[in-house]
């Protein structure tokens, strides 16, 4: 009688400690420049809408991957994403609604929810992923004249 081979799970490819799942997080760092048009709704200039174009320059990228194994261990891998995969220059749009509160004739505060969308995909690959952001801008305006 020949040797018996141990049974193995076909999903593990013979690995005694298969990976259960992995989580990966990419982080992209961009420097953005905006050119916006601001249109006020009222004569008192309290409410406004802003729309504009933005250009972006990719500064650096990194990725962190956590692999969770069946024995309870976790392997962490960290690396830089190479630039040929990530476009260095990009462009997009942003739109927002704002509210201005004047504290004096020369100073005001503003509150502006904003949405930004980049038309340039973050990877030159068969899957196109585009960056977008939803945020809140708070600021101070000062009249120089």
**DSSP per-residue codes, 84-141:** GGS-SEEEEEEEEEEEEEESSSSEEEEEEEEEEEESS-SS-SSS----EEEEEEEEEE
Residue 48 has a CB neighbour count (10 Å cut-off) of 17
Q: Is the pTM of this model over 0.75?
A: no
Give tens-digit pLDDT for 94-134. 999 999 988 888 898 999 999 999 888 876 666 677 888 89
């Amino acid at each position: 009688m020949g040797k018996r081979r141990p049974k193995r799970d076909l999903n593990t490819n013979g690995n005694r400690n298969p990976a259960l799942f992995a989580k990966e997080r990419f982080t992209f760092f961009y420097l953005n420049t905006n050119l916006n048009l601001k249109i006020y709704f009222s004569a008192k200039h309290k409410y406004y809408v802003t729309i504009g174009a933005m250009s972006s320059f990719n500064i650096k990228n990194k990725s962190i991957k956590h692999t969770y194994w069946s024995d309870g261990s976790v392997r962490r891998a960290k690396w830089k994403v190479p630039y040929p995969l990530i476009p260095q220059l990009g462009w997009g749009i942003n739109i927002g609604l704002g509210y201005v509160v004047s504290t004096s004739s020369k100073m005001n505060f503003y509150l502006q929810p904003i949405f930004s969308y980049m038309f340039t995909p973050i990877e030159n690959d068969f899957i196109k992923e585009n960056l977008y952001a939803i945020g809140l801008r708070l600021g101070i305006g000062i009249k120089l004249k």
